[in-house]
Homo-oligomer: A and B are copies of this chain.
Amino acid sequence: MQQTVNIIKVGGNIIDNESKLTTFLTDFAQLKGLKVLIHGGGKVATEISKGLGIEAKMVDGRRITDTETLKIVTMVYAGLINKNLVAKLQSKGCNAIGLTGADANIIPAHKRPVKEIDYGFVGDVEEEKMDGVVLSALLKSGLSPILAPLTHDQQGNMLNTNADTIASTVAVSLSKHFNVNLIYCFEKDGVLDAEEKVIQEISKPYFAELKEKGVVIAGMIPKLDNAFAAIDKGVSSVYIMHADGLPTLINDSKNTGTKIS
């Protein structure tokens, strides 16, 4: 039987909050089995940019990664956030190793082509090139990879990259070697229905029905689309849930949040 790997993505709301982060890292360190953490950016990059007098560049409400912003996110995501997560997890007995997509070329990408908007140094992941071999070897040797939301263009430049995308592409590449659960942690208990109650399980036909009825909020639709895409490509299950539920889901094997299958 294939070993299971849990791939957990946490967003900036946990990274930015010291008490939430401590709880999360204590839980993560104690999760049974093989695990990968993908972290978002948080507000620190914006604060450091402001401190250095670098204005956030926005075009049509979208953030642009220019040369100066790329330096900041590389420093903050791969340096400050990633290494502090690693040091804290190490102190809690989790043998963490912090990486970006450039390290060991685990996530090849290219600069997003300029169409209506030039996003600057933003990476589109080349999922078809990912074989999961290096991450698989690290996991099998007892390490827990901690991934920052950065890739590289294979021509010498780092690229700012969406953490949800990194989580799903890493999950797909590892599904060639393991039974993979992909878990998106966010600030709610799961996908909510019209009565604000957690929907326990969403299948593809049920998702179509929910979309038609307008039950699922707009912001959740791309997350769910990505979740179904990951499942189509070999991931066993995707969960969208509150980080507090991780020990229940993984250590007690009890479903919590919303399961996409």
Contact = CB atoms under 8 A, between A and B. Distances in A.
Interface in A71-118: 71, 74-80, 82-84, 86-88, 90-92, 95-100, 102-105
Contacts of A150: 83
Q: How large is the interface on A (under 10, 10 to 19, 20 to 34, 35 or more residues)?
A: 35 or more
A80 B75 contact: yes
A95 B91 contact: no
A61 interface: no
Q: How many copies does the complex hold?
A: 2
Given A51-B53, A105-B95, A83 B78 contact: yes
A158 interface: yes
A60 to B, nearest CB: 29
Residue with the highest number of chain B CB atoms closer than 10 Å, among A52, A97, A158: A97
A203 interface: no
A3 interface: no
Contacts of A87: 102, 152-153, 156-158
A139 interface: no
A141 interface: yes
Given A95-B105, A103-B97, A82 B86 contact: no
12 contacts: A75-B76, A75-B80, A78-B83, A78-B98, A79-B80, A79-B82, A87-B156, A90-B156, A96-B102, A96-B104, A97-B99, A97-B103
